[in-house]
Amino acid sequence: MKKSLSERSQASVWHPFTQMQVGPKPIGLVKGEGVYLYDEDGKKYIDAISSWWTCLHGHSHPYIADKIAEQARSLEHVIFAGFTHEPAVSLAERLLAHTPENQARIFYSDNGSTAVEVGLKMAFQYWQNVQQEKTKVIAFKEGYHGDTFGAMSVGSRSAFTEPFFPFLFDVEFVESPAKNADQCIAEIKQLVEAHDVAALIYEPLVQGAGGMLMYSKETLDEILALCKEHEVLCIADEVMTGFYRTGTFFASEVGKEQPDIMCLSKGLTGGVMAMGVTTCTAKIYDAFLSDHFMNKTFFHGHSFTANPIACASANASLDLLLQAECQDKIKGIQAKNESFMERLKGNTKVENIRVMGTILALDVKSDVITGYGNAVRDEINYFFLEKGILLRPLGNTLYLLPPYCISDEELDFIYEKIVEYIA
């Protein structure tokens, strides 16, 4: 008997964030179209989380597919040390037109974790290049910045990183601004006054994997102003928050204070190709300039840095993102989420209902300790998969982060199933 895709995968593939001995069989997918994913048995699922927050325009968008095919027929890949190409240059120019005005350069990498690695390395080497001994890093509790060693080091310590604790560099963790803004600011103030802090890394406005924890632009401004007063480089991890997820092109543009370094990925290519970007100010870039190759050079790069097909995908995604139709859809999603939030107020089975941009999040009340491993997580996940909706909650935090092409009717279907679940 022919084995299913799911069975074949179980026999040969090691899946991420999965206990392979007891975890459920992976769902074998054969097609994606718009907001829907189709499995090998013909069942369809609404991808309500944009496949880990990446697929801005849904799946298999024909415009992006055409641009990728076009690029593949002209230049599929080339070493990016000593060479350049139109898709990379065009993408850099377009991104800089939308970043905060102090951003001056684009550095390409492979994904969100490596974008963060690049940002950290830039910060550390910057202080070396200007001959100042600054080595400490400040990060927020409940933060997540990726799975490579540098990114793990600046992420909140948890069961996810426990096997690697001996290998992670020391970080000064302060209270999450979403949990206690005053305490967070007080702790940062105490640390930066020692004048040995190299950088602060943070997720602006929303701590995503920590449970969609949200805080105000006023708090962010106060934190960044304090860091800048004491010459601490500010690294904005916009891997999740970028590309209108919080309501503006980048979360960093809403306040008065600007980051020194920004890390981008996920929605960058519309979820179609793997790519990371790290941006920086002219001041940081200039600190790496020298008349000798081995002096001050930023020695970082990957085989697939600035891959032309990935750049073409990102340019195509930007084309769609900036269209009036997409802008209207983004505003419409936020409005519908806000309306649904009002509908849920007073419900005794959920709490902390919150909306920012296209993000809707709520916490399902639970008698057990909350967190990613909360049994409620599996219950929520299986309930919605059975209903044909991919949600994948963060512990007891149920959230929506849909593709921008989702219809009002599809959102209403999701809302009704949420009501059904909490009933």
pLDDT single digits (tens) 185-236: 999 999 999 999 999 999 999 999 999 999 999 999 999 999 999 999 999 9
pLDDT band of residue 335 (cuts 50, 70, 90) is very high
Return phi, psi of residue 163, to 5°: -60, -15
The closest of 181, 303, 155, 364 to 239, measured between CA atoms, is 155
| H-state helical runs in 322-407 | 324-344, 375-386
Whole-angstrom CA distances from 270 to 28, 71, 100, 273, 274 are: 22, 16, 21, 8, 10
Strand-strand pairing, 276-281 and 261-264: antiparallel
Domain spans, the chain = 5-60+324-422, 65-321
Q: Decide if 207 contacts 153 (C-beta within 8 A).
A: no
Q: Decide if 35 contacts 406 (C-beta within 8 A).
A: yes
| Alpha-carbon dihedral sign for residues 229, 230, 231, 235 | negative
What is the per-residue pLDDT for 48?
98
Calpha distance 183→175 (Å, rounded): 6
Calpha distance 28→47 (Å, rounded): 15
Could you tell me what percent of the chain has a pLDDT over 90?
95
pLDDT tens-digit map of 13-62: 999 999 999 989 999 999 999 999 999 999 999 999 999 999 999 999 99
Q: Decide if 40 contacts 6 (C-beta within 8 A).
A: yes
Three-state SS at 55: coil
CA 61 to chain centroid, in Å, comes to: 21
Name residues whose C-beta falls within 8 Å of residue 331's C-beta, 6 or more positions apart in sequence.
none
What is the per-residue pLDDT for 372?
65
Could you tell me what percent of the chain has a pLDDT over 70?
99
Across the beta sheet with 29-33, the strand order is: 29-33, 36-39, 44-47, 389-390
Q: Decide if 269 contacts 113 (C-beta within 8 A).
A: no
Helix (H) or strand (E) holding 105, with range, is strand 103-109
Calpha distance 32→27 (Å, rounded): 13
Whole-angstrom CA distances from 348 to 57, 115, 306, 367 are: 35, 41, 49, 13
Three-state SS at 225: helix
The closest of 136, 135, 164 to 148, measured between CA atoms, is 164
| Alpha-carbon dihedral sign for residues 273, 329, 400, 351 | positive
| H-state helical runs in 162-288 | 181-192, 217-229, 282-286
Please tell me whether the overall predicted TM-score, pTM, comes out greater than 0.95 for this model: yes
pLDDT band of residue 78 (cuts 50, 70, 90) is very high
For the CA atoms of 108, 139, 357, 91, the dihedral, rounded to the nearest 10 degrees, stands at: -10
Helix (H) or strand (E) holding 241, with range, is none
- How buried is residue 30: exposed, middle or buried, by Cβ count under 10 Å (0-12/13-18/19+)? exposed
Structure tokens, 411: 């959102």
Helix (H) or strand (E) holding 26, with range, is none
What is the per-residue pLDDT for 1?
84
Fold (CATH) for 5-60+324-422: Aspartate Aminotransferase, domain 1 (3.90.1150)
Select 65-321's CATH number: 3.40.309.10, 3.40.640.10, 3.30.2020.30, 3.30.1390.20: 3.40.640.10
Query: Whose structure tokens read 């020391």?
Result: 170
Please state the rounded mean pLDDT for residues 80-91: 98
Please state the rounded mean pLDDT for residues 166-181: 98
What is the per-residue pLDDT for 23?
87
pLDDT tens-digit map of 351-409: 999 999 999 999 999 877 656 667 788 899 999 999 999 999 999 999 999 999 999 99
What is the per-residue pLDDT for 370?
59
pLDDT tens-digit map of 130-159: 999 999 999 999 999 999 999 999 999 999
If you average pLDDT over every residue of the chain, what do you get?
Answer: 96
